[in-house]
Structure 1
Amino acid sequence: MGKVVVVENVTLDGVMQAPGGADEDVRGGFPHGGWAHPYADQVLAETMGKGMSEDGGMLFGRRTYEQFYGFWSKQTDGNPYTGVLNRKHKYVASRTLAGPLPWENSSLLEGNAVEAVAGLKRVVVGDLVVLGSGGLVRSLAKVGLIDVYTLLIHPLTLGTGMKLFAEGEDAYGTMELVETVPTTTGVIIATYRPTT
């Protein structure tokens, strides 16, 4: 049976919007895109690389899938992530996309995303890793389908932006800390397992 593993860059005040680039996600006039880049280091790269090399697949919402496809599928500089991302099976939750999807090894989830992910967990061996895809993460969290959260907690606050756990939504429960890895730039890679 597979596990759903959420991997998210977040700030100390919980913002997850646009860690990768200025134009990544400007919804709501978000002016801080690319906030995670100054904190990249070898520890972070190696820790994330270990997780990517394991069996399983990836889960994406439409917006994150399109952003990843637009960037990673075209990288040819020999970085360690492109090959892994191209080889991994990518499952995409979307109400607007139609198949076939353009990135190799990609499948559109049919019907209700929550039900489709529950079905995947029963048949996929290994982890189903969710990167970004905040709306999908919140939908899966509400029904208890997330098994592990790996949060890359960055030492800054932004005061604005979309948060991993949105205000005004139902509580998600408690978590158990499984592992922490500090980086040289102050990022704490914290792995949690939901307990309720």
Structure 2
Amino acid sequence: MSTQPSAVENTPRTPLEAWRELREGNARFISGDTLHPHQDAQRRKDLAQSQKPFAVIFGCSDSRLAAEIIFDLGLGDAFVIRTAGQVIDNAVLGTLEFAVDVLHTPLIVVLGHDSCGAVTATNDSVDSGNLPRGFQRDLVEHIMPSVLESRRNGGTTVDDAVVENTKQAAARLMDQSRSLADAISRGDTAVIGACYHLEDGRAELVYSNDPAFRDA
């Protein structure tokens, strides 16, 4: 990971510009009119010494949730982090802080998806009272507050819990990292939550503490 000034400067510079770029790419993916941008030899050469991604995408590890594909992105566009169920740990927080503090990335997207296996496993554990063994138990324990909150709010399906888990993960970033909270308060970056629909390919905004994103 390079910390040198980027040779690639024609990227979105504000959180709203970054979200609009992602929405346009997702619309192309949905319609089948993808451009596959920034994937040629010249782009590779431009990025050899530096990078300036315009979005950090912290998403689930599910094989159907490839961020660069669903947002029609290319090399150098997105800084991508993936864990099952978007579970946050110190490595995730440190990676996010690097993206914001060093690379000056203007937008963090927490990306969930329907039919999430990690959320489904947690939902099943709540019903049965049994936790999985090994480190999968750690995943379930991290996600369980979202499942319980979803039920308290009247949620009845796994996908209801997926939305709640996405919202809670996005909000938790600001609670757990002083560095991220400071960058957000300065307006240098923003955190939003989106849920991806497997059937139609749509990435739907489900969380933002800035009303401007809902109108973007």
TM-score above 0.5:
no
Higher strand share: 1
Pair member with larger Rg: 2
Higher helix share: 2
Scaled by the length of structure 1, the TM-score of the pair is 0.33
Q: Tell me which of the two structures has the higher relative contact order, counting C-alpha pairs closer than 8 angstroms and 6 or more residues apart.
A: 1
